[in-house]
Amino acid sequence: MGIATVNPATGEELRTFEPLTEEEVEAKLALAGARFEEYCQTPVLQRGEWLEAAAEILERDRHQYAQLITTEMGKPIKSAIAEIEKCAWVCRYYAEQAGEFLADVPASTSARQSFVRYQPLGAILAVMPWNYPFWQVFRFVAPNLMAGNVGLLKHASNVPECALAIEEILRQAGFPEGTFQSLLIGSEQIETILADDRVQGATFTGSEPAGSSLAAAAGKHIKKTVLELGGSDPFIVLESADLEAAASTAVTARMLNSGQSCIAAKRFIVAEAIADEFQQRLVEKFQALKLGDPSQEDTEIGPLATPQILQDLERQVQATVEGGAKVLIGGKSNSDSAGNFYPPTILTDIPSGTPSDNEEFFGPVALLYRVENLEEAIALANATPYGLGASAWTNQAPERDRLIKELEAGAVFINSLVKSDPRLPFGGIKHSGYGRELGHPGIHEFVNVKTVWIE
């Protein structure tokens, strides 16, 4: 796929970009290397002032940047505005907290003095997806620029204008030229960049195959990686749950970003005793959702980002139905309409042996399962290659404690939907990846944790 802005609501190609040449990439790498030597000496307080300025720009021009998101990947405009505001939040969080997170940590040993010091590594490559084109980047930018690293961004090829806008925001905020650079390149150029000695690590958010490929390339050159990959998050509703709260939240949790979110709830695992009522509420709420033009403020579900994503989702739903699943609502796109629209869909009576076993449904499709008890719910929730997040609904303390302990996920949310928060580490286990972004751990992923011993 070329590097281009294509409106997913209409299919119209609005702007195309030529990938950087090898010479242009080399110039940017040289700039990053030279800039790091100076930037790593910049006081944390100064870095924080620049990051605070970036937050102010994001808030001031949030409608402009939100419209860019909506145009390039189809996010409903209200959600796009919220994404920009969240980016400002993560900037402010790390601007305020980085000094504490990076401070020397004393250790009690037999030495006269011993401590741990955190120091930056160099240029870090971020390979980012299209689904949260600003947030995914800023949750990398904020901790890494505060740590003293410099950033190189290879963004998804369908959001080039978002990539360039982010670079310009940071430039306007005062960060020196070369501190953060967007590289408009194809994926085939990533391995060459990873091999360069001026690049010290890479963070990746996206599909499992692409993440595996990047990690293999980085490992060849002994470069650290952080991977945030796919998810097939369970949403467990037990008999003691507040059913209306669970059903209302279930809709929000499934329809995050029109269903195109790694931490969206995808498999709804409901206790048999309340399953009929929950199903009825869920169907009614899905029926009430407004699908349409993402630029309209009352639109709740926009188009999928690309025609390929739409085709993949249609294949998965068709294969699941052919395998014996029942369609409660939706289940088929309108092939005659323009844009990559897919209706809110609920599938139930889902047998094993269908794509639901081990694939991520990246769109507005809910998979509804019934279970007899807590043990069965936990077993089904864990019966997936993924382990990103899990939401569970119960008002019984023993059930809550078992869910927290036994669910195989990087995050467990009780009586709430799974979400990322700058104050908490974010990441998965199993095939959902490794390493953490955000929170205290997020700023330590790409630093030298240096032991100092003074006799």
Whether 96 is catalytic is: no
Does residue 220 surpass a pLDDT of 60? yes
What's the CA gap between 286 and 300, in Å, rounded?
Answer: 11
Q: What is the pLDDT of residue 385?
A: 97
* 412, 404 contact by CB (below 8 A): yes
Tell me the three state secondary structure of residue 412.
strand
Length of the chain: 455
Answer yes or no: is pLDDT of 238 > 70: yes
* Homologous superfamily (CATH) for 3-229+432-454: Aldehyde Dehydrogenase; Chain A, domain 1 (3.40.605.10)
pLDDT in tens, 40-70: 999 999 999 999 999 999 999 999 999 999 9
Active-site residue (options: 72, 161, 167, 228): 228
What does residue 201 show for φ and ψ, rounded to 5 degrees? 180, 175
**Residue ranges of domains in the chain:** 3-229+432-454, 233-421
User: Strand 411-414 relative to strand 365-371: parallel, antiparallel, unpaired?
Assistant: unpaired
The pTM score is 0.97
Q: What is the mean pLDDT of residues 323-332?
A: 97
Residue 262 is among the residues annotated as catalytic for this protein: yes
Q: For residue range 105-160, list pLDDT tens digits in order.
A: 999 999 999 999 999 999 999 999 999 999 999 999 999 999 999 999 999 999 99
Q: How confident is the model at residue 246 (pLDDT cuts 50, 70, 90)?
A: very high
Location of structure tokens 């694939």? 359
Percentage of the chain exceeding pLDDT 90: 98
59 vs 6: CA distance, rounded Å:
26
Model confidence at 196: pLDDT above 80 = yes
* Residue 373, pLDDT score: 98
Question: How high is the mean pLDDT of the chain?
Answer: 97
CATH architecture of 233-421: 3-Layer(aba) Sandwich (3.40)
| Active-site position among 87, 91, 162, 262 | 262
**Which residue, 310, 318, 250, is CA-closest to 284?**
250
| Torsion angle, alpha carbons of 301, 304, 305, 306, to 10 | -160
Instruction: Indicate whether 1 pLDDT > 60.
Output: no
